[in-house]
Amino acid sequence: MKISKGEKVVKVIIYTSLTILAFVTLYPFWNTLVISFNDGLNTTLGGITFWPREFTTQNYRAVLNDIMFIKALTVTIGRTVIGTFLAMFFTSIYAYGLSKKYLKGKKIYMIISIITMYFSGGLIPLYLLVRSLGMIDSYAALVVPSLVGVYNMIILRTFFMGIPEEIEESAKLDGCNHIRTFFSIILPVSGPAIATISLFTAVYFWNEWFNAGIYINSAAKLPIQNYLMNVMNSSNYAEQMAKLTGGIGKFSVTTVTSRSLQAATIMVATLPIVMVYPFVQKYFVKGVLVGSVKG
């Protein structure tokens, strides 16, 4: 072998450190999963790391039995689906319009848009605006403040500009106007780009908690991340829930603790992303590359 001793050592170091990195990345997921499947009281004894000692599904039953959780999940799902759809709709037609050289006023539109990427009014003025629009504590506040993203628009615009004109020519000859052309020709061709941006948008809506937190007052309209925050931050909440759900179900004595309950809630809140992730990972990576190069 031509590899020198020094290079062999380096190789070992590289593979070891990367393995450690991968391990450290995955461990919290795994450990929390294990705790969520472990009996709460048993967990307090300590020592749970790689495998549950006393397997139970109690914690999950406690979570799924909580009406607030079901509500929060519904809110998040609705928000993600509707939000992604609307955001993609407005952003993509916007991007398409701006991709046409002969758009009247294009320069102005572009300048107005780009400026917002660098300057903003700040948190308070935005909050007061939303308030004056009457959107506080409404479902609209979960979606509307994030409808048009200039960054995404630019990525889509670049993509649209790369579509050969011939494709649209035939539609124009048939008498289609831009609106019809967009929906019947451009969209079908833009699958990958739309898919990528949609995924990014969906992940954003699923994870977004801060805006929801400041605009929503009623507990029933909170999305799932905020619900999780409540479970985590007021161990009162968790303990109360634990006691409540202990009465229902097979076990007369509840052994759900706030810790095990929190673990289960965390897992449920992040499950969709983790499950979808391996399949869509390549889209994300590509999107980042395109975005950063163009940006």
Partner 1 sequence: MNTFLQKPTSYRKPKTRSWFKEFIAQWDLQILVIPAMIYIIVFNYIPMWGVMFAFQDYDIFKGFFNSDWVGLKHFHVLFNSPDFLLIMGNTLTISFLKLLILFPAPIILALILNEVRNERFKRIVQTITYLPHFISWVIVAGFVTSMLAVDNGSLNLLLKSLGLIKEPIAWLSIPEYFRTILIGAGQWKEIGFSSIVYLAAISGIDTGQYEAAEVDGASKLKQIFAITLPNIAPIIGIFLILAIGNLLNAGFEDILVLTNNGANAILRDTSEVIDTYVYKQGLGGMRYSYATCVGLFKSAINIILLCSANFVVKRLGNDSLW
- One-letter amino acid for residue 64 of the chain: L
Side-chain-side CA neighbours of residue 251 (13 Å): 16
Give residues 16-45 in contact with partner 1 (rule: CB under 8 A).
17-19, 21-22, 24-29, 31-32, 35, 43-45
261 close to 242: Cβ distance less than 8 angstroms: yes
Give residues 235-264 in contact with partner 1 (rule: CB under 8 A).
259, 262-263
143 close to 79: Cβ distance less than 8 angstroms: yes
How far, in Å, are 6, 26, 30, 84, 281 from residue 18 at the CA level? 19, 12, 18, 35, 19
* Shortest reach from residue 252's CB to partner 1, in Å: 24
What letter would DSSP give residue 186? I
In this chain, which of 2, 5, 104, 250 binds partner 1, going by CB under 8 A? 104
- x-or-dash pattern for partner 1, window 113-152, by CB under 8 A? x--x--xxxxxxxxxxx--------------xx-xx-x--
- Residue number, 48 or 73, with CB nearest to partner 1: 48
**Cα(57)–Cα(33) distance, integer angstroms:** 11
161 close to 252: Cβ distance less than 8 angstroms: no
- Residue number, 71 or 259, with CB nearest to partner 1: 259
Measured at the CA of 42, the angle between CA 38 and CA 47, to 5 degrees, comes to 85
* Shortest reach from residue 229's CB to partner 1, in Å: 5
**Cα(13)–Cα(32) distance, integer angstroms:** 29
Work out whether 55 is an interface residue with partner 1 (CB under 8 A). Answer: no
How many chain residues touch partner 1 (CB under 8 A)? 99
- Non-local CB neighbours of 11 within 8 Å, separated by 6+ positions: 3
Work out whether 266 is an interface residue with partner 1 (CB under 8 A). Answer: yes
Work out whether 184 is an interface residue with partner 1 (CB under 8 A). Answer: no
- Residue number, 10 or 248, with CB nearest to partner 1: 10
- x-or-dash pattern for partner 1, window 194-233, by CB under 8 A? ---------x--xxxxx--xx----------xx-xx--xx
* Shortest reach from residue 198's CB to partner 1, in Å: 14
Q: Which stretch binds partner 1 (CB under 8 A): 58-66, 91-99, 187-195, 236-244?
A: 91-99
